[in-house]
Structure 1
Amino acid sequence: MNRERWIKRTARQVIAASLLVSLVGTGFGSKEEVYAAERQPVNLAFVHGSKQMTFNGKVQNMTTPLPIVKGVTMIPVRTIASSVGARVYNDNKGTHIDTYFNKVTLNINMRGARRNGSYVLLPAAAMRINDTMHVPLSAVKQLWNAGYVFNAQLKQISITIQPDPNVAPVADFKAPLEVRLGEPVEFEDLSYDPDGKIIKTEWTGRKSAYFEPGFYTVTQSVYDNEGTWSEKKEQIINVIDEVMYTPYEYYMRYGNPGDKFALDAKLMNTFKEVATFETKGHTTLYMSNAPERFFGEGLLYEDVLDSPSRIFLHHRNGTQERMKLAVIVTNTQSETVKLTLGNRGLAGPSVNAMQFGSAAVTRYLTGSAPRELILEPGTSAVLLPELEKIIMNPDEGFSGLMDVDMDGPLTFSAMALRETTDGLSSVFMLEELEKVGNRGLFLDTDQYIDVTETVGLKESKLRIGSRGTSMVGEDALTGGLTYNGGEYGAVTTVRLKDVAYGTRIILNPRAGIFQGAVSVNGKVVAVPTGGHLNLGEGALIYTQKKPEGAVGLQAPPEVTIKYTSPGASSLPILFVFIPGSNFD
């Protein structure tokens, strides 16, 4: 019987309630732990007169010792079935104990049995003892790929059952053969694993919609928990040259947060700017980004922090050696200082600055468990030991965001080091690297933007970045002013007090390509889900959906967006608000 027919047949069969009763008793007991079949021999050991047995070396309790009937040791079927991961069920032909390759049928008080359709004569009849089906010990050789040894001195029976070979999973799916441009495409996954479970699925050519006519080949492969890939399932979808939805129309209706699409960036220039009320937070920004590309060991930046702060690091290895970054914290005061490390996002090493800049922001917004560090007077400590494990090959880079708070002044020293250099012993010995770019300390960098007007009744927008004077700070190493035009390391929180139901919110870059993330109502959204956004593209980040069961004039919930500029991307960006009525 081929695997498809076997799966369909077994899917229709239901374990009979009578068998559930008949197999309780001898066996693993009421608190047994059922082990899935593995591709290794199963070893069972019993001792006559004992209620204990071992399963692959693990002790299990049985409700009664092994019974002996007319000099024949009887083995509980439940124990064998559980140990090999067999499916047990009843029908009018008897009791079935089935794995994919080994199918056994037994009947109470009958010596006749069947194995894979062939008749087998047992040395004694199968019988129910203490409401549990048993077979003679020697029958395990006849019904399963098993052998046994009896140690008369120990009165121990050892049974070894050889495993069935793994059966490859089966990839299968259902999809339409023909669709229009922009028509939603539904894929029904019909894959299965006859003797295990699928843990990974890979697709090629699959899209939620297609926007160019032609023939598209979709393939699916699945991977099971035993490490075996299926054969590929393949289907061709014909996309005809007839438009149902443009990309913009499709994603506005069916898109998920992070989906990107082309849009009319010039048209958005005509949208009204929403009215805002803006305030500053009191977070201090420690920025180490100069030199962005370093060419040797040295001090990147050093300054004192004594209040809630955020550290932003963004550097690239310009040497021909393997390098790392380190941040050392020093307490020069006469009192003990407690430091709390909050949210943090570390990313790298990578040669793609947009990739590690985006990943750092995503991890930072996701949140981290706090960590405390106690610094005694006159001592130094490594801020993040894991940072020094990120080794950059030549031309690879790193980006990081870290929230810190302390109850006294601490000196933070950011350094570029060779892979084998110890940061603690080097902190006061390194020379300052030449400043090329932006670094320094910036006060009150976080921004809160409140929008109280209703958004989503008509097209409107909110610009982030270039909102007045560029962020100005001080470089402690030079004593001069420094500028952070990209607002890197600063967090902007947008609080939309009234967002109409159905409103779509889009992020649109206005100064170049963009790859990052935002947090919307606490949920992190990659922008975009894959790749990056160009000037003429946008990404859906939120849809104000009406809650199920909402009635009457129930007010829509507020929407809170948190944004911080990812390294290698630029400001400004737009948050664009599109009415849901456009897509009714």
Structure 2
Amino acid sequence: MNFKRLVITTVIAASQVAMVLPASAEEMVQTNPQSEVNVSGQALNNANTGNLNQNGTVDGTTNPDQGQVDSQIDGQVTDETGGTTVPGSTDEGTGSEGSETGGNTTTTTPPVVDNTSASSTDGKLILMMNSKKMYQNGKEYLAGYPMEVQKGVSYVSIRAIVERAGLQINYDSKTKETIIQRGSDELRFKVNSSSYKVNGVTTKMSGTSYSTKNNFMVPLTAITKALNMPYEWDQKGKRVIVSVSTKPVASFSIGNKEVISGETQVQYLNNAYSPSGLPIVNEEWLGREEMFMTPGQYVVTYRVQDSSGQWSDPFSLTVNVVKPHTPPVANFTTDKETYKMGELITYNDLSTDEVGIKDRDWENRELAFFTPGPVSIKLTVTNQFGLTSSVEKMITITNETLYTRDDFNKIFTPVGDKYMFDGTQVPSWAKVNYSFTADPTTLIRSNSPETVYSEGVVYRETAIGDTRFMIHHANATGKSVKMYVIASNKNTTETARLTQTNLGFAGPNQYATGVGKASVQRYYESLQTGNKYKDMWIAPGESKIILTELSATSMKPGEVISLLADLYSDQTLQYDVIMLDASKDPFKSLPYLSVLPSDIHNRGTYTDATRHIEYSELIGTTPTRLLIGDNSSDPFLVGEDGPTGEYKLNAGNFGVVYTIKLHRVAPNTLITFNPRGGFYTGNIMVNGNIVPIANSSGLSAPNENSVLFRSGDREQTVEFLFTAAPGSNLSVNLLFQPMPEVKQP
């Protein structure tokens, strides 16, 4: 940072005679950046410095190459070569070891035309327009070569001014680079090059460097973009006044994100430095406290002294000290203090916090209790600062019974939650003897090998018209991979239109059932909103990546992805589902990939993959079940393996979408979801609403079920949309049963 300030000075110094500066740039002053969010501050009477960024540029600099302002001042662009040549000037591009003074000096008083533009010349370098004269600390210097303008770019001689800014200049004979150094900062220039290096970063210049009359010339903006030095343009006096103060600069920041009174040990991060590279030998603080004991705003002022004895201007920050955070207050009530067994308990959470409660943890919070006696219920709340509070209350359960556990659950278990029951009795319930129709949707199920151990094509198929993809795979290759679906138009004359209507994607994630559930939920959401609709066109002989969500993120070893999507194409397309090293190009790799063999899981191409069930008889007056995925009431789809042509049976009918419309559901009917084939977690749509199965966890067969819907006091129509979640187990039942009579406590 120090280095930057001086180099820009250097450069502008070189600009001495034919200086090209915007006429409107009367003053450029950069402000010190503020510290952390909890402090504000400013330097007092301190020369401000710019910051060298990673690209070797500085924000907020004025580009002297933007127009020839010389002509606005003198009526012409002047290429001045007159004046006294400075003795000892050498070829800056040859690495000569001879020293250079930077100009003859005499003690003189610099001309002052407009005192308002520069009240003091201390720490200033004054460059006179259309003259080789420079003034610094009351002395006059003559530059070795004036700045000149070529093709609209202002060029400056490097060596003429480096000493005025206290910089070091060297030549690297191996790389043939002229080097300007200041502390750890470094600029490297080459003759006849349009780029240069700033701390190793190659940066484009506005023009090409060159050598003339033993002076190495570079675009002025090559310096101003790398270093930011404040300056004043004195229009009346035709001079540029550059700040080249060598005073040390005091600066600090607060390392704490938050300063709490009586708790926070304040971290003062010292950023002081000397532009001359001198060591800082002394410092003074005003208002500094290692810990502030009272909330409020505190001004902390800092100044430093270097080894030459110079003191910096003071630098101040305002530290905002906040009061200590208080823990939340846990509190709740119940609508009563005494309840019958099986009586609904209403909880009212009255917990409070100054910023908001992040977590609530209940212990023994049940909707009802079925054993008499005292019951303790506890609530613990946590705020965002990790502070907690707990409250515990007692209620009493009497010997009187209002509802049995089973009846209570049927009436009061919330939709989306589960409850336990005797599932062994379900097979004896009457079955809904439904029939179905089907849409000619082609299902491409890519689910084998489910766990993929090497790169390759996991499935390949051709299709036209309505097509559904169900993709579910785990990465066991031992490296990061991506999955792609590539659609290829093998037609030689017709462009194919491919329309994506619905899509649900989840992963990559290590939990197979979790991504399966999430992909189905997002598929339903796309049905509701239409937000995944898109059209694309594939020209004859062209291949495109489709279903781009699938390939957007790399899969790490052990991670799983799951996707369900509906498409329509007006031409036959070939689809390749591939797993590939994440760093490889899928189009270049595809011709060399082999089709991977399947494992015990299912893959195949199946038709008629959308089923419609309509049932017009009254349902719900007695316990009844509607069975899905059992290969009896709901027969499995028959198809073939796309790559091998082998016969396939879609066990469980994964990827099949069911629409179920029950025209006559009896009043006060409870509808629940009960798995029969094993663990199940997913979602189902009921009358257009997405209902989880189940909220906090999945369901275990056969004694858990999840509440989907309760009809009202009138007969009504209920519609479902269902597709099995990958990672779960089929078959499943929709259960219909009358609810118990509601009682008064």
Cα pair 1:456 1:577 within 8 Å, conserved: yes
Cα deviation 1:118-170 (Å, max 9, x = unaligned): xxxxxxxxxxxxxxxxxxxxxxxxxx96799xxxxxxxxxxx99675475463
Taking a change above 3 Å as real, the CA distance of residues 364 and 452 of structure 1, as seen in their structure-2 partners, is same
Cα RMSD after superposing both structures: 3.1
- Partners of 2:486 and 2:543 within 8 A in 1: yes
- How do 1:368-383 residues align onto structure 2 when only pairs under 5 Å count? 368-383=531-546
Which one of the candidate residues 394, 408, 418 is aligned to 1:250? 408
From 446, 469, 482, the counterpart of 1:311: 469
Cα deviations by residue, 1:13-52 (Å, 9 ceiling, x for unpaired): xxxxxxxxxxxxxxxxxxxxxxxxxx85799xxxxxxxxx
Superimposed CA distance per residue, residues 233-270 of structure 1 (whole angstroms, 9 cap, x where no aligned partner): 22154675856544432221112222111122232223
Whether 1:528 aligns to 2:691 is no
The 1:422/1:147 distance shift into structure 2, 3 A limit, reads same
Q: Which residue of 1 aligns with 2:113?
A: none
**For structure 1, which runs of at least 5 residues remain unmatched after alignment?**
1-38, 44-100, 102-143, 149-159, 547-554
Partners of 1:216 and 1:235 in 2: CA distance:
7
| Partners of 2:505 and 2:549 within 8 A in 1 | no
Which one-letter code corresponds to 1:346 in the other structure?
A: F
Instruction: Report if the CA contact (8 A) 2:333-2:349 is conserved.
Output: no
- Name the structure 1 match of 2:516: 357
Structure number with greater Rg is: 2
AA at the equivalent of 2:682: G
Aligned to 1:126: none
Q: Which amino acid aligns with 1:185?
A: I
| 8 Å contact from structure 1 (residues 171, 222) kept in 2 | no
Q: Quick check: 1:525–1:541 contact (8 Å CA) kept in 2?
A: yes
1:266 aligned residue (415, 424, 445):
424
In structure 2, the partner of 1:573 is 732
The one of 604, 613, 619 equivalent to 1:449 is 613
Partner of 2:505: 346
Identity %: 27
Which residue of structure 1 lines up, in the alignment, with residue 292 of structure 2? none
Counterpart residue number, 1:326: 484
Aligned partner of 1:156 in structure 2 is none
- Aligned to 2:603, what secondary structure does the other structure show? strand
SS of structure 1 residue aligned to 2:517: helix
Matched, 1:228 2:388: no
Secondary structure of the corresponding residue to residue 643 of structure 2: coil
TM-score by length of 1: 0.66
2:447 to 289, 295, 302: 289
In the TM superposition, residue 338 of structure 1 has moved relative to its aligned partner by 2.1
Pick from 490, 493, 503: which aligns with 2:669? 503
The alignment partner of 1:438 has SS state of: coil
Letter matched to residue 390 of structure 2: K
Q: Equivalent residue for 2:556?
A: 393
Aligned pair 1:545/2:679, yes or no? no
Change (3 A) 1:325 1:179: farther
Change (3 A) 1:215 1:301: same
Q: Cα 1:325–1:406, aligned 2, differ >3 Å: closer, same or farther?
A: same
Give the CA deviation at 1:539.
0.9
State the Cα distance separating 1:518 from its structure 2 match.
Answer: 0.6
* In 2, Cα distance between equivalents of 1:428 and 1:239: 73
* Secondary structure of 1:355 counterpart: helix
State whether residues 215 and 239 of structure 1, in contact with CA within 8 Å, keep that contact through their aligned partners in structure 2.
Answer: yes
Using the alignment, how far apart are the partners of 2:357 and 2:552 within structure 1?
31
Could you say if the C-alpha distance between residues 183 and 468 of structure 1 is closer, same or farther in structure 2, counting changes exceeding 3 Å? Answer: closer
- Which residue of 2 is the match for residue 31 of structure 1? none
Residue segments in structure 2 that go unaligned for 5+ positions in a row: 1-36, 42-260, 262-294, 300-317
Cα deviation code 1:387-437 (max 9, x no counterpart)? 223433333322211111122222211111223233233222211111223
- Count how many residue pairs are aligned between Structure 1 and Structure 2: 425
Q: Residue 464 of structure 1: CA displacement?
A: 1.1
Residues 215 and 396 (structure 1), Cα distance of their counterparts in 2 relative to 1, 3 Å cut: farther
- The answer to whether residue 515 in structure 2 is matched with residue 515 in structure 1 is no
- Code of the residue aligned with 1:267 in structure 2: it is Q
Q: Deviations over 1:43-79 (max 9, x none)?
A: 9xxxxxxxxxxxxxxxxxxxxxxxxxxxxxxxxxxxx
CA distance in 2, matches of 1:362, 1:216: 37
Where does residue 276 of structure 1 map in the other structure?
434
Q: Compared with structure 1, are the counterparts of its residues 402 and 237 closer, same or farther at alpha carbon in structure 2 (3 Å cutoff)?
A: farther
Partner residue of 2:75? none
Q: For the structure 1 residues 248 and 327, does the alpha-carbon distance in structure 2 shift closer, same or farther, using more than 3 Å as the test?
A: farther
Q: Tell me if the contact between 2:339 and 2:398 (Cα under 8 Å) persists in the aligned partners.
A: no
Of stretches 329-338 and 210-219 in structure 1, the one that deviates more from structure 2 is 210-219
Matching of residue 563 in structure 1 with residue 727 in structure 2: no
For residues 294 and 460 of structure 1, do their structure 2 counterparts lie closer, same or farther at Cα, with a shift above 3 Å needed?
same
Q: 1:509, CA displacement in angstroms?
A: 1.1
Q: In structure 2, do the counterparts of structure 1 residues 454 and 294 end up closer, same or farther at CA, with 3 Å as the change threshold?
A: same
- Pairwise mapping of residues 76-475 of structure 1 onto structure 2 (< 5 A)? 165=323, 167-168=325-326, 170-176=328-334, 182-194=342-354, 197-198=355-356, 200-205=358-363, 207-209=365-367, 216-223=376-383, 227-237=384-394, 244-333=402-491, 334-367=493-526, 368-436=531-599, 437-465=601-629, 466=631, 467=633, 469-475=635-641
3-state SS of paired residue (2:592): coil
Q: 1:315 to 1:211 in 2, by over 3 A?
A: farther
Q: C-alpha distance in 2, partners of 1:42/1:246?
A: 65
**AA partner of residue 457 (structure 1):** T
Deviation larger for 290-299 or 431-440: 431-440
Instruction: Name the counterpart of 1:492.
Output: 658
Greater length-normalized contact order (CA 8 Å, ≥ 6 residues apart)? 1
1:571 deviation in Å?
A: 2.0
Residues 1:469 and 1:271: Cα distance change in structure 2 (over 3 Å): closer
Distance 1:199 1:396 in 2: 33
Could you tell which deviates more after superposition, 534-543 or 330-339? 330-339
User: Aligned AA for 1:321?
Assistant: K
Structure 2 distance, partners of 1:544, 1:234, is: 38
Secondary structure at 1:356's aligned position in 2? helix
CA gap of 1:489–1:211, structure 2 versus 1, over 3 A, is farther
Shift of 1:282: 2.0
Cα distance per residue 1:187-218 (max 9 Å; x no partner): 21223345xx5263422326342557685552
Q: Map Cα deviations across residues 421-478 of structure 1 (whole Å, 9 max, x no partner).
A: 3323322221111122321210011111111011122222211122254311121211
After superposition, the Cα gap between the structure-2 partners of 1:178 and 1:429, relative to the gap in structure 1 and judged at 3 Å, is farther
CA offset at residue 366 of structure 1?
2.0
For the residue of structure 1 that corresponds to 2:535, the secondary structure is: strand
Aligned-partner residue type, residue 336 of structure 1: T
| 1:314 match: secondary structure | strand
> Is the partner of 2:598 in helix, strand or coil?
coil
**Structure 1 residues 240 and 472, CA, compared in 2 at 3 Å: closer, same or farther?**
same
Aligned-residue offset at 1:561:
0.7
